[in-house]
Amino acid sequence: MNKHVSLSVNPKVSDWLEFRPAGRVILHTGKVNIGQHITSALVLIAAEELNIDPNQIAVAQTRTGSSPNENYTVGSQSMQHSGYAIKKAAATARNELTVRAAKFFGVSVEQIKIEDGNLFIEKTNQSISYWELVKNAPLECYVDETVDVKNHALHQLQGKHHIARGMWDIVTGTYEFIQDLKLPNMLHARVIRPPQYHAKLVNVDEKLIDKLAEENIYLVRDGSFLAVGAKSEFAAVKAAKRVAMTATWQIENSLDESDIYELLVKNKRDSLLVEKGCIPNKDLEIPPLDKTNVQGDITLNAIYKKPYIMHGTIGPSSGAAVFDGQELKVWTQNQGVYPLQAAVAEALRLQLDDVLVQFMPGAGVYGHSGADDAAFDAALIAKHLTNFSILLKWTREDEHCWEPYGSAMQCNLQASVNSNGEITSWSHETFSDTFLTRPVIGKEPASRLLSTHYLNESKPWPVTPPMLTVHGGIHRNIEPIYNFPSPRLVKHRVYDLPLRTSALRALGAFGNIFAIESMMDELAEALKLDPFHFRLKHLNDEQGIQTLIRLQELVDKDRVNFPQEAGLGISFARYKNSAGYCSLGVLLRVNGDAEVELIKIFCVVDVGEVVDISGVRSQVEGGIVQAASWSLYEQVSYDATGITSRDWDKYQIIAFNNIPEFCIDILDRPGSSYLGVGEITTGPTAAAIANAINNAVGLRLRQMPFNSEAIKSAALLS
């Protein structure tokens, strides 16, 4: 039996590859393209192994029932999951078809050559194609994980620059997103939201309901869930505003306005010691923090903070659905069609097989955004308005106020270093809300959908226990990759915090790496040591060492061009201590208004074997820009009545005028394993920016965002 996570559930070649007439291959994957261009890489893998042109391969849209069940597209694992599975499936197919061709020609396997999907005997005119060989005998064999894949020295496609699939359609405006769907007998829908989480619908004006009916506008009310549907989108928008103006709500609880960082350390929590390997253990006693200071050691204490941040999708979440009384079809931009299928079926009391969920591209974000909730909103309305197709779009206010945010975090660090520049003790405690309330099969997934909490038969808000998996949510990357003696690592899963939270790109790694790499710089500064040398002194990982050395080479080569007032900060991490490596340098200045101006980013990554180098580069750049935006600008604001950062004016993100120059070096390792790239730059970016600000103006910022107010406050306190 296959042990690989994707192949154990989808073990046959036909689960991944489908040979169609006219020389076409259909590629199936459970991973979805949400802006990271994973489909481009998967096509290159299959084309390379099959020796065919990538243009002969089409990728089927991911949907329940026909696509491999690969759970979610998360954790920078698409290449390790789908990439590995498709490579092995394609290699197995190539071997099986070679055997069939040899049998057809009556020759040995060694005599068969392959070119452009044709199998032939060299120096003869005898040939047969893949498609002829499978015409009457489909490939139903199991994927052989021991099969030899193509030698990397023979690669013709991988590791080279390619234009991403669909990019031409995107830049010319012909690409179809979920917001562009046009379905038969379709209604545009909008949800009328409560003022805040803890509100109950009291009344809707009956006269308005009658008036809307006269205008062929449909009102759906189920408990405190309110929505309208209309033939035109503008009519739906206007109707939603009219209903919102007349609806009355009862506020049952106010949001706690107390300082979030005080709540993080004071509220009820589960505290777990994190053992070697980054595994929380609920059965171990947490040792007290050693306050003693060994003679000659320098001990530093620091608290690092990040606020609530949002996914910030530029195009608000959308979903579509149609229900014929028996089967429910749902279109979604979410990252896991099978978990959403389970959640919707449970919530609407339908049989699992009667719910079909189809992925369709939307605005790209990473994590548990509003996409699942928007899809369920559409499904719920479709169930009430049978035989209408429903296209539902969240508003900007919906997106800013109702999506699950990335949790606020606080990291308390204490570290000691001796006169030889060796770290002698390390303690790291992280306080955070959960990073996992997205639907999970088998764990009451319906309760993870926003609107289920407002129905007549409402679901309770989920309270998730601490994740105990290796490098799980809060404790992801809490364990330093450096060689420290017996680090004391503690995870605090805090409860009863004011805002809804879930997965956002990199989970706890963003805050944890920011804290670790800031402390590494603070220790180096206290000892007056070079930050490169200090990190290398504590690093045994050879690939990590190579990325840091290469970063130093890039930085040193360009130092002569640095503006006099600029500051340089560096950082390093290996995502989850098992995935891709990232060494990062940020060159910036702080202007007269105390605003950070990014000048140049130096970045060296090692993600194992590189398939699509253009895709890797875009992921590195995109990850840095997003993390820079979090670090410098982003913060969800709220008061007792609800979310106040309801639009882009109140929730600032990075703009084009602060996008730096990039110098990116990708260390390709042909023949090695895929390590993943999507989330490797997030934590190092925040730390490198903080370190660069300190280098530029001598101010140590430990709380994000590092905006002008934060810099001015730090200057007043210095």
Among 113, 147, 172, residue at a domain's last position: 172
Tokens of residue 658, six digits = 């602060």
Determine the pLDDT at residue 35.
Answer: 84
Same domain, 603 and 619: yes
Digit-coded pLDDT (tens) for 57-66: 999 999 999 9
Same domain, 184 and 147: no
**Dihedral sign for Cα atoms in the order 590, 596, 597, 602:** positive
Same domain, 422 and 483: yes
Work out the average pLDDT over 531-555: 98
As a whole number of angstroms, the distance between CA 235 and CA 225 comes to 19
As a whole number of angstroms, the distance between CA 447 and CA 450 comes to 8
SS3 assignment, position 532 = helix
Work out the average pLDDT over 527-555: 98
Digit-coded pLDDT (tens) for 239-288: 999 999 999 999 999 999 999 999 999 999 999 999 999 999 999 999 99
Residue appearing with tokens 């015409």: 135
As a whole number of angstroms, the distance between CA 276 and CA 426 comes to 13
Residue 662, beta-bridge partner list: 601
Question: What band does 572 get if pLDDT is binned at 50, 70 and 90?
Answer: very high
Distance of CA 44 to the CA centre of its chain: 22
Measured at the alpha carbon of residue 204, what is the angle toward residues 203 and 207, in degrees to the nearest 5? 130
Q: How many residues does the chain have?
A: 718
Statement: residue 1 has pLDDT above 80: no
Determine the pLDDT at residue 576.
Answer: 97
Digit-coded pLDDT (tens) for 372-389: 999 999 999 999 999 899
Same domain, 638 and 670: yes
pTM value > 0.85:
yes
SS3 assignment, position 415 = strand
User: What is the widest separation between alpha-carbon atoms in the chain?
Assistant: 85
Tokens of residue 515, six digits = 């804290």
The rounded mean pLDDT for the chain is 95
CB atoms under 10 Å from CB of 68, counted, come to: 23
As a whole number of angstroms, the distance between CA 645 and CA 211 comes to 33
In a domain, residue 499? The reply is: no
**Dihedral sign for Cα atoms in the order 44, 50, 53, 55:** negative
Digit-coded pLDDT (tens) for 580-612: 999 999 999 999 999 999 999 999 999 999 999
In a domain, residue 523? The reply is: no
Distance of CA 709 to the CA centre of its chain: 29
CB atoms under 10 Å from CB of 574, counted, come to: 23
Statement: residue 291 has pLDDT above 80: no
Same domain, 55 and 114: yes
Among 344, 379, 402, residue at a domain's last position: 402
Q: Residues 624-640, buried b or exposed e (16+ Cβ, 10 A)?
A: bbbbbbbbbbbbbebee
In a domain, residue 683? The reply is: yes
Statement: residue 168 has pLDDT above 70: yes
DSSP letter, residue 316: P
Residue that wins the pLDDT comparison between 549 and 1: 549
Work out the average pLDDT over 683-690: 97
Work out the average pLDDT over 515-519: 98
CB contact at 8 A, 378 and 323 = no
Question: Phi-psi region for residue 469, left (φ > 0), alpha (ψ -120 to 50) or beta?
Answer: beta
Range of the domain at 613: 542-717
Same domain, 294 and 232: no
Q: Residue type at 383?
A: K
Same domain, 217 and 100: no
In a domain, residue 527? The reply is: no
Same domain, 664 and 591: yes
DSSP letter, residue 641: T
Statement: residue 25 has pLDDT above 70: yes
Question: What band does 207 get if pLDDT is binned at 50, 70 and 90?
Answer: very high
Among 172, 193, 226, residue at a domain's last position: 172
Determine the pLDDT at residue 365.
Answer: 80
Determine the pLDDT at residue 37.
Answer: 85
Determine the pLDDT at residue 657.
Answer: 97
Same domain, 188 and 328: yes
Q: Per the structure, how many domains does the chain have?
A: 4
In a domain, residue 531? The reply is: no
- Percent of the chain exceeding pLDDT 70 equals 99
Same domain, 44 and 130: yes
Digit-coded pLDDT (tens) for 298-330: 999 999 999 999 999 999 999 999 999 999 999
Statement: residue 2 has pLDDT above 80: no
Residue appearing with tokens 């620091």: 302
Residue 249, beta-bridge partner list: 201
The alpha-helical segments, DSSP class H, found in 396-541 are: 396-402, 509-527, 531-537
Determine the pLDDT at residue 295.
Answer: 75
**Dihedral sign for Cα atoms in the order 472, 478, 482, 487:** negative
The CATH number linked to 125 is 3.30.365.10
Same domain, 165 and 54: yes
Same domain, 397 and 416: no
Contacting residues for 5 by C-beta, under 8 A, at least 6 apart: 70, 81
Question: What band does 628 get if pLDDT is binned at 50, 70 and 90?
Answer: very high
Tokens of residue 286, six digits = 């947490």
In a domain, residue 661? The reply is: yes
CB contact at 8 A, 711 and 698 = no
Digit-coded pLDDT (tens) for 663-682: 999 999 999 999 999 999 99
For the residues of 488-515, what is the DSSP string, one character each? Answer: EEEEEEE-S-SS-B--BTTTTHHHHHHH
In a domain, residue 516? The reply is: no
Digit-coded pLDDT (tens) for 44-102: 999 999 999 999 999 999 999 999 999 999 888 999 999 999 999 999 999 999 999 99
- Percent of the chain exceeding pLDDT 90 equals 93
Residue appearing with tokens 């099978």: 338
CB atoms under 10 Å from CB of 324, counted, come to: 10
In a domain, residue 512? The reply is: no
Whose CA is closest to 28, among 64, 72, 53, 76?
64
